[in-house]
Amino acid sequence: MTLFEAIKERYSYRGEFKPNPVSREDLTKILEAGLAAPSGGNAQTTYLIGVDDPELIKSMSAILNKTSTVTAPAAVVVISHPKPVYKDMCFNIQDYSAAIENVLLAAVDLGYASCWIEGEITADPVRQKAYAELLGVPEGFNVVCFLPIGVPVSEGKRAVHRPFEERASFNRFTFTI
Amino acid sequence: MTLFEAIKERYSYRGEFKPNPVSREDLTKILEAGLAAPSGGNAQTTYLIGVDDPELIKSMSAILNKTSTVTAPAAVVVISHPKPVYKDMCFNIQDYSAAIENVLLAAVDLGYASCWIEGEITADPVRQKAYAELLGVPEGFNVVCFLPIGVPVSEGKRAVHRPFEERASFNRFTFTI
């Protein structure tokens, strides 16, 4: 798939998945894509866990209270290690978000669908801690995102984007909100 | 270029640029790629300004105190409009970071190089305000990133990434830091 095709094809899929497995080879490619993203000051604050253990997927879905993700044959869990890199500024959110975008694009390229599930974990310290315990994530590292990976059962509903002219312009901010 | 080629080829280029122009068509494709990124709650908090006015590039480079970016024939300026979307959480940093990754990949695909310049703007309120004034960005919208776009004069130095095994694992957090 070309880059532009992958960018165009990606969308947040919230449905159930087919039982087709995600091979360890595909999961590795997806993780490598995530790790190839840039990071502020090259601090590489993002860690990725590829999950293909059905019991883990089941437990993580139960914590999220989601019936759709339990059908995912695989997932990527994103872990962030905040540390200041420039004038006491941390760029760990930027780092992991760029990595997640690469993960989502790589998943699409390989024929899978996914969805960026973050707030449902990070807004809830109980869930976040439960994830950390399940995966053995130590203090100082934050579980920030769960990305189910699998072949979608059917085409999901795509989010509608406002038109180009309302979000992009040339040489001047021209938007009225 | 395939998605995986673009991901592999992308790196932070900090050198000077050739005088080859970036066509409005290419710049539009790059902006469209950025806007196609997901956003938390589909809030679409990211706005992009494509810059191809040489005087603006010159002024923005002077504010950054950079001699390399002044040679860039074009740039993308990223503007963020923070607003809470889930339990009072804002995802605007995540939103613009995913958009930036798409912009960087699209630039590479079209034969250009770029670099994510953020902290040098956002850590300095004077610079951030100067950018906002130059581009007519109103209160409530933050200029967060400057991405020079152009054909690199020569291959730059790539950041070294730690090996896969130190940043990715399967089914368990296995890293020792």
pLDDT tens, position by position, B13-22 = 999 999 999 9
Q: What is the pLDDT, as a whole number, of residue B87? A: 84
Q: What is the pLDDT, as a whole number, of residue B47? A: 98
Q: How confident is the model at residue B176 (pLDDT cuts 50, 70, 90)?
A: confident
pLDDT in tens, B28-76: 999 999 999 999 999 999 999 999 999 999 999 999 998 899 999 999 9
Q: Give pLDDT < 70 ranges for chain A.
A: 177
Are residues B106 and A56, on separate chains, in Cβ contact within 8 Å?
A: no
CA dihedral sign, ordered B69, B74, B77, B78: negative
Are residues A171 and B51, on separate chains, in Cβ contact within 8 Å?
A: yes
- Beta carbon pairs, A and B, within 8 Å: 230
Are residues B3 and A6, on separate chains, in Cβ contact within 8 Å?
A: yes
Give the CA dihedral A83, B124, B44, A150, nearest 10 degrees. -20
* pLDDT at B177 > cutoff 90: no
Q: Are A131 and B12 within 8 A, CB to CB?
A: no
Which residues in A lie closer than 8 A to residue B103 (C-beta atoms)?
none
* Strand, helix or coil for residue A148: strand
User: Nearest CA to CA, how far is B121 from chain A (Å)?
Assistant: 11
State the average pLDDT for chain B.
Answer: 96
Question: What is the 3-class SS of chain B, one letter each residue?
Answer: CEHHHHHHHCCECCCCECCCCCCHHHHHHHHHHHHCCCCHHHCCCEEEEEECCHHHHHHHHHHHCCCCHHHCCEEEEEEECCCEEECCEECHHHHHHHHHHHHHHHHHHCCCEECCECHHHHCCHHHHHHHHHHHCCCCCCEEEEEEEEECECCCCCCCCCCCHHHCEEECCCCCCC
Q: What is the pLDDT, as a whole number, of residue B26? A: 98
Of A136, A170, A175, the CB nearest to B52: A170
Are residues A116 and B2, on separate chains, in Cβ contact within 8 Å?
A: no
Q: Enter the DSSP assignment of B73.
A: S
Which residues in B lie closer than 8 A to residue A79 (C-beta atoms)?
173
Of A3, A116, A160, the CB nearest to B109: A3
* Strand, helix or coil for residue B15: coil
Q: What is the pLDDT, as a whole number, of residue A98? A: 98
Interface test with B, best of A80, A173, A174 (most B CBs within 10 A): A173
Q: What is the pLDDT, as a whole number, of residue A116? A: 98
Are residues A160 and B42, on separate chains, in Cβ contact within 8 Å?
A: yes
Q: What is the pLDDT, as a whole number, of residue B175? A: 85
Q: Are B108 and B9 within 8 A, CB to CB?
A: yes
User: Nearest CA to CA, how far is B176 from chain A (Å)?
Assistant: 10
Are residues B4 and A106, on separate chains, in Cβ contact within 8 Å?
A: yes
Q: What is the pLDDT, as a whole number, of residue B86? A: 85
Concatenate the DSSP letters of all residues of B128-173 into one string.
Answer: HHHHHHHHTPPTT-EEEEEEEEB-BSS--PPPPPPPGGGTEEESS-
Are residues A36 and B122, on separate chains, in Cβ contact within 8 Å?
A: no
Q: What is the pLDDT, as a whole number, of residue A87? A: 84
Residue B148 pairs in a beta bridge with B75
* Phi/psi at B171 (5° precision): 65, 0
